[in-house]
């Protein structure tokens, strides 16, 4: 029809960015700096888990990659190993219910309404 319609680009906020890239002559917006991790460019705000070690989590924020490691607690004596892609072992079947029951009983015994022995 011969008409050109233009819309102004909505720019993401850069207020929380420590480092940001000033807009170039062919761009409309300033942008948070991404990260370079193992030779790959990653956008700021991206989070991911290491495919080789699901206990390791990463986040790119304003040019800085932070790494955190999940620590696990299995409340049973013989937990099953973590499933593929998962970090933590699991307690199976009745044992987990039994442990949970003991946990609740322990807390009930130690409640503020318990009377101390004399």
Distance CA 103, CA 75 (A): 10
Whether 1 is in a domain gets the answer: no
Whether 28 is in a domain gets the answer: yes
Whether residues 67 and 85 share a domain: the answer is no
**Could you read off the pLDDT of 28-50 as tens digits, one per residue?**
888 888 888 889 999 888 999 99
Query: 58 phi and psi, to 5 degrees?
Result: -130, 155
| Better pLDDT: 19 or 79 | 79
Q: How far is CA 72 from CA 55, 66, 86, 96, in A?
A: 9, 20, 11, 15
CB 20 within 8 A of CB 11: no
Q: Quick one: pLDDT at residue 110? A: 30
- Predicted TM-score of the model (pTM): 0.60
pLDDT more than 70, % of the chain = 77
Q: Which tokens belong to 92? A: 């199976």
Q: Which range is least confidently modeled, 20-24, 45-49, 96-100, 104-108?
A: 104-108
Whether residues 25 and 60 share a domain: the answer is yes
Q: Quick one: pLDDT at residue 90? A: 85
Whether 4 is in a domain gets the answer: no
Say which residues have a Cβ less than 8 Å from residue 66's Cβ, sequence separation at least 6.
58, 59
Q: Which tokens belong to 91? A: 């307690």
Query: 19 phi and psi, to 5 degrees?
Result: -130, 135
Task: Please give the residue range of the domain that contains residue 103.
Answer: 76-113
Q: Which tokens belong to 40? A: 């790959």
Whether 83 is in a domain gets the answer: yes
């Amino acid at each position: 029809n011969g008409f050109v319609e233009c819309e102004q680009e909505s720019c993401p906020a850069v207020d929380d960015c420590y480092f940001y890239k000033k807009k170039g002559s062919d761009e409309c917006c300033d942008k948070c700096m991404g990260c370079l991790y193992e030779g790959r460019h990653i956008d700021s705000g991206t989070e991911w888990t290491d495919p080789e070690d699901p206990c390791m989590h990463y986040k790119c924020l304003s040019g800085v990659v932070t790494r955190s490691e999940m620590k696990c607690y299995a409340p049973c004596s013989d937990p099953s190993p973590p499933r593929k892609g998962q970090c933590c072992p699991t307690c199976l079947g009745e044992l987990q219910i039994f442990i949970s029951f003991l946990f609740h009983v322990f807390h009930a015994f130690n409640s503020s309404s318990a009377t101390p022995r004399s």
